[in-house]
Structure 1
Amino acid sequence: MANEQQHEYWNGEAGARWAAEDATMAKLLDPIARDLLAHVQPEPGSHTIDIGCGGGSQSVLLAEHIGAGGSVLGVDISAPMLEIARGRGQPEDAAALTFLQADAATWAFDAASFDLLFSRFGVMFFDDPIAAFSNMRRALKADARLGFCCWQAMRDNQWTLLPVQAALRHVPAPESPDPHAPGPFAFADPQWLESILAASGFGDIAIAPHSVEMTFGSGNGLRETVTELMMVGPVARLLAEQSPEVKARVVDDAAEALAPFLRDGKLALGGAVWLVTAAAAEPGR
């Protein structure tokens, strides 16, 4: 099965954990979703696919932006995440919103049927990204566009680098992965990303750097906020099978490292993404 590890991850314990943390992630990533929408500027009434829609918070924003007469199809492989998405309901005066459990890399979308391929951090997890983007491109009309965001390198993202550094003082470091392997930072290299999109039949490719502030917590105190931060991102994978004692030591170290970033009871950490746009150079083929 293509993307077998991703199927297992997002439909197992990890998928359930992400679903449980969806409200936190939706709040955290809402500013980025809005920045992406402003950058892409979807046309009113357009028909759009939201790839890797997860819990669907950005799908709702997209549907509201497009408005009545359009449609948004949210696609994800995770049943736990889609359960959250489907519970959001249909927003008023918005594009028709539906959700599909499928692997966008291989799903047989209706050819030449969509105006926009959109994603907020949902396209970095394909085993074969060229095959995946080629498959998705075939769903696009002749004048269709691609618009998504993805993370720059971990070293440029304080919000994940500092917790991971704290964790690695207490847990074994994983084997050095292929930097282009499926994962949140698979598209950190913009030249690699551009080559994938070009080989997949996209043209007019633009990859723009965008800095963001990642804000965690709700004024509950440093340790509580750091504990919340440890539930998301790559550090969550590092700690998933660790004992409560190890997790507590990691939180202690991370709290010490992150204390200078606490403002009004919230952690404000730097983040860096790419805002990516392209045109379907070979639509429907």
Structure 2
Amino acid sequence: MSEGKNQAQKELWNTSVGERWTRRQVDIDAMLAAFTQALMQAADLEGGPPQQVLDVGCGSGETSLMIADLGHTVTGVDISTSLLDLAQRRAGDREGVTFMEADASDAVFHSPFDLLISRFGVMFFDDPQAAFIHMVQYLKPGGRVVFVCWRPPGENEWVTMPMQVLASVTEPPSPPPPDAPGPFAFADPERVRSILTNAGLTDVKFTPADAAMPMGSAKGAIKIAAYVMEVGPAALPISLLPAEGVAMVRERMTSAILPRLKDGHLSLGGSIWVVEARKASGRAN
């Protein structure tokens, strides 16, 4: 693997972010459940013949395990050691699922795939064009790509609400360039269409989906504030604040959450693209 390639993401997902997502796995999977369902519906794996599936950015294994339980063979690939260790524990002795610690943008796979799938895992490459060219070569002719990615931050309440609280305490970090690696790098459908088309994919389709996302399973504003401060784009800048700054954010986050509670719980809106594409039937690996 070339020096420095996707290095910032590797460091994040093997330190603070990976640790938090491993510890919060149950709540994060519940938070993303509606979008996981949208992804699986688009993948259309239920009831069909067995397929070979590549799950890019598989994390703690939620989608990989669902695919294996439908009778398909799936390779889940991720860069986070802690998330993959959790995925392996969750898999137990299931057949048909393999987890691989690797960067999908240059990993070597030993058999072609019918489907490349990803739940919020394809937006973090330093060079997404090169990454998709590399991954698509492992798709069979006629093979499909199905993934979900976030629409712009302003359309995602689970982002705007915590960032507004952060901004009331300290100057928030400047937003990254729209094409920088990160959760919202694929928010622009025209950019994504160009990346996929240049990688040899056709029939590119974008379907918007919106859902309320539960912010953790614990009841009460204090516990929900702790979750919101650990998951999402506000988490890293909050973690870099001095102790008194973190305490002030926690106090204001709790106050902002209180009037939004319903039966002790909080849900915030999320907005995504469900993206589908296909490799041309005559295009060999």
Class of the TM-score when normalised by the shorter of the 2 chains: over 0.9
Q: Aligned pair 1:3/2:6, yes or no?
A: yes
> Where do 1:1-285 residues align within 5 Å?
1=3, 2-42=5-45, 43-65=48-70, 67=71, 70-90=72-92, 96-110=96-110, 113-218=112-217, 220-281=219-280, 283-285=283-285
Q: 2-side partners of 1:16 and 1:274: how far apart?
A: 27
Contact 1:30–1:58, Cα closer than 8 Å, also in 2: no
Question: Given the superposition, is the C-alpha separation of residues 217 and 23 from structure 1 closer, same or farther in structure 2, using an over 3 Å criterion?
Answer: closer
Q: 2-side partners of 1:283 and 1:155: how far apart?
A: 38
Q: 1-side partners of 2:51 and 2:115: how far apart?
A: 7
Q: How many Å apart are 1:6 and its aligned residue?
A: 1.1
How far does the alpha carbon of each residue in 1:1-24 deviate from its partner, in whole angstroms, 9 at most, with x for none?
A: 211111111112332222122222
Q: 2-side partners of 1:27 and 1:44: how far apart?
A: 29
Q: 2-side partners of 1:267 and 1:226: how far apart?
A: 10
How far does the alpha carbon of each residue in 1:38-88 deviate from its partner, in whole angstroms, 9 at most, with x for none?
A: 1221244111000000011121112223x1xx3010000111110111111
Contact 2:165–2:253, Cα closer than 8 Å, also in 1: yes
Percent identical = 38
- The aligned length equals 279
Question: Given the superposition, is the C-alpha separation of residues 241 and 193 from structure 1 closer, same or farther in structure 2, using an over 3 Å criterion?
Answer: same
How far does the alpha carbon of each residue in 1:179-221 deviate from its partner, in whole angstroms, 9 at most, with x for none?
A: 1100000011111111111111110000110011101233521
Contact 1:134–1:201, Cα closer than 8 Å, also in 2: yes
Q: 2-side partners of 1:176 and 1:248: how far apart?
A: 24
Contact 2:27–2:217, Cα closer than 8 Å, also in 1: no
How far does the alpha carbon of each residue in 1:135-164 deviate from its partner, in whole angstroms, 9 at most, with x for none?
A: 110111112100000000111110111101
Q: 2-side partners of 1:20 and 1:126: how far apart?
A: 24
Q: How many Å apart are 1:124 and its aligned residue?
A: 0.3
- AA at the equivalent of 1:25: I
- AA at the equivalent of 2:206: I
Q: Which moved more, 1:251-260 or 1:8-17?
A: 251-260
Contact 1:152–1:188, Cα closer than 8 Å, also in 2: yes
Q: 1-side partners of 2:93 and 2:283: how far apart?
A: 30
Q: 2-side partners of 1:284 and 1:9: how far apart?
A: 36
Secondary structure of the equivalent of 2:55? Answer: strand
Question: Given the superposition, is the C-alpha separation of residues 284 and 174 from structure 1 closer, same or farther in structure 2, using an over 3 Å criterion?
Answer: farther
Q: Give 4+ residue runs of structure 1 displaced > 6 Å after superposition.
A: none
Q: 2-side partners of 1:114 and 1:220: how far apart?
A: 43
Contact 1:104–1:136, Cα closer than 8 Å, also in 2: yes
Q: 2-side partners of 1:228 and 1:89: how far apart?
A: 26
Contact 1:49–1:75, Cα closer than 8 Å, also in 2: yes
Question: Given the superposition, is the C-alpha separation of residues 283 and 87 from structure 1 closer, same or farther in structure 2, using an over 3 Å criterion?
Answer: farther
Q: Which moved more, 1:269-278 or 1:212-221?
A: 212-221
Contact 1:124–1:187, Cα closer than 8 Å, also in 2: yes
Q: How many Å apart are 1:90 and its aligned residue?
A: 4.5
Q: Which moved more, 1:241-250 or 1:2-11?
A: 241-250
How far does the alpha carbon of each residue in 1:205-257 deviate from its partner, in whole angstroms, 9 at most, with x for none?
A: 00110011101233521121122111101011111222332222112222333
Q: 2-side partners of 1:217 and 1:109: how far apart?
A: 36
Secondary structure of the equivalent of 1:266? Answer: coil
- AA at the equivalent of 1:36: L
Q: 2-side partners of 1:284 and 1:108: how far apart?
A: 17
